Amino acid sequence: MFLSSIRAIGTADLLDMAFVAVLVYALLVWFKRAKAAVVAKGMLIAAVVYLFSRGMGMTMTTGIFHGFFAIVVVALVVIFQEELRTVFERIAVLSLPGTADLRPLARQTGMLTRTIHDMAADRVGALIVLRGRDPLDRHVEGGWELNGLLSEPLIKSLFDYHSMGHDGAVIIEGERLTRFGCHLPLSKDFSKTDKLGTRHSAALGIVELTDALVVVVSEERGSVSVAREGSIETLLNPDDLGERISRFVEDTQPQPHRDALQVFLQRNVREKVIATVSAVILWFFIVFGAKEWRQAYELPAVPRNLAAGMRVVRIQPERVRVVFAGKLRDFYWVDRRGLAARVDLTLAKPGANLVRFAAEDVVRPAHLSVEEIDPLRVAVDVAEKEARP
């Protein structure tokens, strides 16, 4: 059956599996970034149980899961509506030209690092957002448009105590400082913000929603923290800041096709494997499993309804060939040990009997039908039991 399945796979089926694998991979990565691994595991377990119940023909369980999945989809949309918006924004960004060019930012890394360390030494608070590929407009409120060329004097003047926007954040896109005095969304992860100030909570909030990198300078401690991909870390080594910014530029800047392919293959390997295996399993259950299938089994001839005081001397042949028909997925869970061809001996008499099979004499799962029985009749020799002395 397996070899027949492989030979039946066509180009459209391969494309079907590839597309589903990409969707599952995107969903897994989204759950990973949304810190919803527990939800993903729960959905995976529910999906496995659903496929098992469907394959076994458990009608009531399958029906319950249909309603359950509908409720789950609505709940996920409500709970993760912000993350879903972010996903669709990223899809739009990938499909449209004109994403921010971060190569100019790479040329300014040294100046930016030096400026931040100077402000940390002088205990000047700062909140600096480096935009990645994701748009920030929907998450940023207030502030003033600037679009000025990035420079050390400009950054220091904007965070000077006398500046009107010194308590807000500045947005850097490439080598342009586009806005200042902005308000960022605060993080909803209270386990991470319990001991953090407002600037750190705002930095964590924006990186939970976008792929930006945020640098925070604490005016109380003079420390420098970096937030990215839903986490924040205080840097102990001053040289680490330049490395983090360079890595951010490298990760978010579009690469040549060969380098981009290499980076893609090296990231999220576990999610890629799970997505590929899931797509293949789903295809076998949903698509290929729906094909009409015929399968032959050699079944034992089992006598029944023999009158008291009689015994079976011989059944010839002892095994019969039965051809079953049904959906291919109906055969996935067939237990051959539970299949049998029952020989009805209600009318049997001592001596030779010729018994004809009917479809209802074949023990089988309810979702399989009997198409052929060979031979259609068996010879049964019956004798009276010897009386005990």
pLDDT at 134: 84
Question: In the CATH scheme, what is the homologous superfamily, with its name and number, of domain 103-253?
Answer: DNA integrity scanning protein, DisA, N-terminal domain (3.40.1700.10)
For 310-329, letters b (16+ CB in 10 Å) and e give beeeebeeeebebebebbbb
pLDDT of residue 315: 92
Q: Classify strands 362-363 and 377-384 as parallel, antiparallel or unpaired.
A: unpaired
Long-range (24+ apart) CB contacts under 8 A made by 260-263 are none
Domain residue ranges in the chain: 2-96+260-288, 103-253, 291-384
- Sign, CA torsion 191/196/197/202: negative
Q: What is the pTM of this model?
A: 0.56
Nearest to 159 by CA among 131, 199, 190, 207: 199
Q: What is the reported pLDDT for 100?
A: 52
What was the pLDDT predicted at 53?
76
Strand, helix or coil for residue 297: strand
What is the predicted pLDDT for the residue at 292?
A: 83
Is residue 151 exposed (0-12), middle (13-18) or buried (19+ Cβ within 10 Å)?
middle
CATH number for 291-384 (one of 1.10.10.410, 1.10.10.10, 2.170.120.30, 1.10.3470.10): it is: 2.170.120.30
Going residue by residue through the chain (389 aa), what tens digit of pLDDT does each one get?
Answer: 555 556 667 788 788 888 888 888 877 777 776 656 666 677 777 777 877 776 666 777 877 877 777 777 777 777 666 666 666 666 655 555 545 555 556 678 889 999 999 999 999 999 999 998 888 888 899 999 998 999 999 999 999 988 888 999 999 998 889 999 999 999 887 777 777 788 999 999 999 888 899 999 999 888 999 999 888 999 988 788 989 998 888 877 655 544 555 656 667 788 888 889 888 888 877 777 777 888 899 999 999 998 888 899 999 999 999 999 988 877 877 888 889 999 999 888 899 999 999 999 999 988 899 999 999 999 999 998 876 65
Q: Are 185 and 168 in contact (CB under 8 A)?
A: no
Residue 340 burial (CB count, 10 A)? 18
DSSP state of 283: I
Query: Looking at residue 87, what is its pLDDT?
Result: 63
Q: Please, where are the H alpha helices in 80-108?
A: 81-95, 103-107
**Rounded CA gap, 2 and 7, in Å?**
9
